Chains A and B, each alone.
Chain A
Amino acid sequence: MTPPDTPQKLTRKDFASDQEVRWCPGCGDYAILAAVQRALPKLGVARENSVFISGIGCSSRFPYYMNTYGFHTIHGRAPALSTGVKLANPNLDIWMITGDGDGLSIGGNHLLHILRRNLNIQIILFNNRIYGLTKGQYSPTSLVGKKSPSTPMGSVDNPVVPAAFALGAGARFVSRAIDTDAKRLVPLLMKAHDYQGAGLIEVFQNCPVFNDGAFTHFSDRKTATETQLHLEHGKPMIFGAEKNKGLRLRPNSLQLEVVTIGEDGITEADILVHDQTNRAMAFLLAAMEPPTFPIALGVLYCDTSVGSFETAIHAQIEQAKQTRKPDLGALMRKGHTWVVE
């Protein structure tokens, strides 16, 4: 964690800018903004060192609403801009804001590389499974058959699962939350902040205008206990209204299955314990989808064994400074030279 540089206590209000928030009424983005504004004062980072960098899309308006430094860049390129900012000043605490179109379509390449490099920033990916700003075209996370202005007969291409993409790219902190679940989103943002590398938080974000209810099959509070699995490192993966359902590996296969404690001789000891450092398990958890499975929320994967990109880059610079004197004049005089009288 970046050490606190100012003793003064900041509050949620200190992080709200004077700009009028311009998302559609009921948009999930409001809830995420509120969660971020609640999380930030708890992190002890000076406001001038907090930086929000976004691409293009509804979610990418986010920096304008934060009273911190902010850069609303160009479509898909926030990871690349963030890399330059962090390389230039590693003390800045960067939050990158992107969406399913910005981060996984036009900027998919950059997202892949920022994750594998493990740049020490937080990445909030607002997944609403639709293009909002351009008025409702299907996105790379839209489910097959999505009817939209550009796919009047339904989309035909398979969606990408952001968490699985991230794991495949070599991300070392992969997590998920639901926009309106502030109780869990705020601490998750803090965990991602604690992580010394690229902390990815995928937020399932409802777009009431163009894709309303895209996630209700698991986000609906009435059925949430049956459809959501809240992961906790070192705790058995149990869910259900009666806390009697759990995950185990189907015998002789590399597949998960949902079992009920107390049925068929299943006891709590049979249920898998969540190990956030288990990458193979993280892939299985990322792929789970209702109704067969609950959706896995919280930290799917966290590997702290690798350092961050900018640390390694600056370590090399420090090493070079120790072995060679920075003297350009001397450098230019090295090798074959001759004097003209």
Chain B
Amino acid sequence: MDTITTPSESTKAREQLDSVVIRFAGDSGDGMQLTGTQFTQSTALAGNDLATFPDFPAEIRAPAGTTFGVSGFQIHFASHNVMTPGDAPDVLVAMNPAALKVNIKDLKERGLLVVNSGAFTKGNLKKAGYESNPLEDDSLVGYRLLALDISKFTLAAVAEFELGTKAALRSKNMWTLGLLMWMFGRDREPTVAWLKHKFASKPEIAGANIAALNAGHIYGETAELPVGIGAYEVVKAKLEPGLYRNVTGNEATAWGMVAGADLAGLTPVLGSYPITPASSFLHAMSKLKEFGVVTFQAEDEIAAVCAAVGASWAGSLGITSTSGPGVALKTEAIGLAVVTELPLIILDVQRGGPSTGLPTKTEQSDLLQAMYGRNGDCPLAVVAAQSPGDCFYAAIEAIRISTKYMTPVMLLTDGYLANGAEPWRIPDLDKLEPFPVTFHTDPEGFHPYLRDPETFVRIWPKPGTPGLEHRLGGLEKHHDSGNISYDPDNHHKMTKVRAGKIANIANDLPEQTPCVGEASGDLAVVGWGSTYGSIYQAVTRARAAGHKVSHIHLRHLNPFPRNLGDLLRSFKKVIVPEMNNGMLSKILRSDFLIDAIGVNKIAGQPFKVGEIEQAISTHLEASK
């Protein structure tokens, strides 16, 4: 059985829903990420807008059945614009007791709970810390429970493939996916095609998975389900017209790097060292060799950034990618790029810190490191992406600033953006504005630090150019000859030049406008990075309730848009939701002497819309 066997027209009536949040949770060996990704794909093809949030344990293979080995994947889809993976799930799929234990507290009241009762064995209950079986006591009465022995159903569905129990049970995620696909009217065909492709060399595994997928679907179609559980429909969302695909942040960043380098007329050279959650960016770039992309997996973080600095000096676009701990190791070399005034893109896919911290969890706690984490007065430009698809445009903007202003640029994304997916309107590359680099070639009056008197930007001479032989280095340079200089006045001047050069970039940035609301009012909610969706929704809701609230979201964190101080002063109150202990709020306070109030969540999890809504009403209330 390797094709779809049930009639596509459902025989049961479908209840219309506006928006649904589903969380798939199971043991890290249960294939929940694959299940979620496939459900996402089919949901996108069905025309809903969506956002996802994969949440997996740090251990590659945590002991089976334990709570710390639970892997989750949340998807929020709707008939309208979706900007966050959703607050509380409407549907929770729990493949074992540990998954139930970890996730049940988040499920909405009267939410639909699908559990694999076959995994609720004595041993598994004990590993999850349950004293009695929650399926048998009345602890789950507040939910609509659908307890099915998915293990048993799966074994029966794949029996003909004679795989042995252990291998056969691997298909239970597909059985579950089949059931959910029936429930939400999803097309199984792309998943069937994907399974055939993935297991092309193991047709029996492909067959078993497809059989399980179909069996789950048939079950929904034919079985008597408890009252209150049925089939649903979420109608297509109205999105901006165009050709769409799903994209994750790291994928979009990689494509943005290739597009940006092309707009600058440069070859991208990536030096990188594997680190969660940035590695998939390295993988994505490594697959783009036909674009001339050079990727170098270095021996460590330091070598990775140094290779990128060397590449930039030689006339390519040096890029390095990492997460917070890697940035810490790279700081000295970033300082070298600042003092030698070379382009360099440092992609920091932030994760929970400090130290090794929470490698697989998201956070925005590298902002101060990005701004100030180097020895000496060592400014550079900082740019942040606000959604998975926006990573593409943020990467291009980072490259534009870096090459135009001969400076390292820190590009901040985070684990949530990196792994999260969203439907993305595929950009028209011809519409992007090129910003070609001109290398200096004229030996007449040449000094390596010849600079534009207004922007302070120095020329870019590259090795191999006759007559421009020169030496660069980390020692302080004479203002224009570039020779070593220990002169006190020169050092003062050079420090001011480096700072002025970065500050001047503000003249080349659009003025900041609120993305929701007016340019003045009772409350400004200021954010940066991946909190965009949650803040947007929360502010939209607060405005619907009649409040004078605006959402201001920053792409450029250094320098700030030149009108930012005035804009913020036009509000009675400013709050700053951040997934850290107060970083942007600190900078706003020190730069503008305004009372920016932090709303901080440091849980390794994105903000829920409700949490920001709560903060908005608390602060509006307090100012009454």
Contacts and interface: CB of A to CB of B under 8 A. Distances in A.
A280 interface: no
A340 B471 contact: no
B289 A82 contact: no
A72 B426 contact: no
B472 A72 contact: yes
A92 B314 contact: yes
B137 interface: no
Nearest to A325: B290
A222 interface: no
B269 A84 contact: yes
A192 interface: no
12 contacts: A19-B483, A70-B471, A77-B306, A81-B306, A84-B271, A84-B308, A84-B311, A109-B303, A317-B290, A321-B290, A329-B428, A329-B429
A56 B306 CA distance: 14
Contact of A89 (B314, B336, B429): B314
Contacts of A66: 471
Contact of B306 (A17, A73, A112, A335): A73
A80 B304 CA distance: 7
A69 B465 CA distance: 9
Interface stretch (A44-52, A123-131, A146-154): A44-52
A92 B242 contact: no
A71 B473 contact: yes
Contacts of B475: 72
Contact of A85 (B242, B298, B313): B313
A337 B313 contact: no
B248 to A, nearest CB: 12
Contacts of B318: 84, 88
Contacts of B524: none
Contacts of A112: 299
A81 B307 contact: yes
B307 A80 contact: yes
Contacts of A323: 290
A272 interface: no
Interface in B512-559: none
A23 B306 CA distance: 27
B471 A63 contact: yes
B289 A321 contact: yes
A241 to B, nearest CB: 45
Nearest to A332: B426
Contacts of A74: 306, 332-333, 336, 474
Contacts of B471: 17, 19, 63-64, 66, 69-72
A319 B290 CA distance: 8
Contacts of A331: 255, 288
Interface stretch (B2-10, B41-49, B348-356): B41-49
Contacts of B306: 73-74, 77, 80-81, 83-84, 110
Contacts of A317: 289-290, 292-294
A326 interface: yes
B245 A332 contact: yes
B316 interface: yes
A89 B463 contact: yes
A21 interface: no
Contact of B291 (A79, A110, A314, A326): A326
Nearest to B462: A89
A333 B245 CA distance: 8
Interface of A: 17, 19, 46-49, 51, 53, 56, 63-64, 66-74, 77, 79-89, 91-92, 109-110, 112-113, 313-314, 316-317, 319-321, 323-326, 328-329, 331-333, 335-341
Nearest to B240: A340
A340 B241 contact: yes
B467 A313 contact: no
Interface in B121-169: none
Contacts of A333: 243, 245, 426
Contacts of A71: 310, 313, 471-473
Nearest to A320: B289
B333 A336 contact: no
A83 B303 contact: yes
A326 B255 CA distance: 12
B303 A80 contact: yes
Closest 9 CB pairs of A and B: A84-B310, A72-B473, A84-B307, A80-B306, A320-B289, A80-B303, A88-B314, A70-B471, A88-B316
B296 A51 contact: no
B299 A113 contact: yes
B303 A48 contact: no
Interface of B: 41, 44-45, 47, 190, 239-246, 255, 258-259, 262, 267, 269, 271, 288-294, 296, 298-300, 302-304, 306-316, 318, 332-333, 336, 425-429, 462-475, 483-484
Contacts of A46: 466
A89 B267 CA distance: 10
Contacts, number: 206
Contact of B310 (A85, A324, A329): A85
Given A71-B471, A81-B310, A87-B307, A321 B292 contact: yes
A328 B291 contact: yes
Contact of A324 (B290, B466, B470): B290
Contacts of B44: 336, 338
A3 B105 CA distance: 71
Contacts of B290: 317, 320-321, 323-326
A92 B47 CA distance: 53
Nearest to A116: B299
Given A77-B302, A88-B311, A333-B243, 7 more contacts: A69-B464, A69-B471, A71-B310, A81-B307, A317-B290, A321-B292, A329-B429
B467 A337 contact: no
A4 B400 CA distance: 36
Contacts of A51: 463
A325 B296 CA distance: 22
Contacts of B429: 328-329
Nearest to B239: A340
A337 B243 contact: yes
A232 to B, nearest CB: 35
Contact of A328 (B258, B298, B474): B258
A84 B303 CA distance: 9
Given A80-B303, A332-B245, A333-B245, A68 B469 contact: yes
A137 to B, nearest CB: 20
A64 B470 CA distance: 8
A328 B241 CA distance: 21
A69 B469 contact: yes
Contact of A88 (B239, B244, B269, B467): B269
B309 A81 contact: yes
A83 B469 contact: no
A48 B45 contact: no
A56 to B, nearest CB: 8
Contact of B255 (A328, A338, A340): A328
A323 B289 CA distance: 10
A332 B459 CA distance: 35
Nearest to A92: B463
A121 B424 CA distance: 45
A216 to B, nearest CB: 33
A11 to B, nearest CB: 15
Contacts of B462: 89
A109 B292 contact: no
A119 to B, nearest CB: 11
Contact of B289 (A70, A83, A316, A337): A316
Nearest to B463: A69
Given A328-B258, A337-B243, A87 B472 contact: no
A339 B244 contact: yes
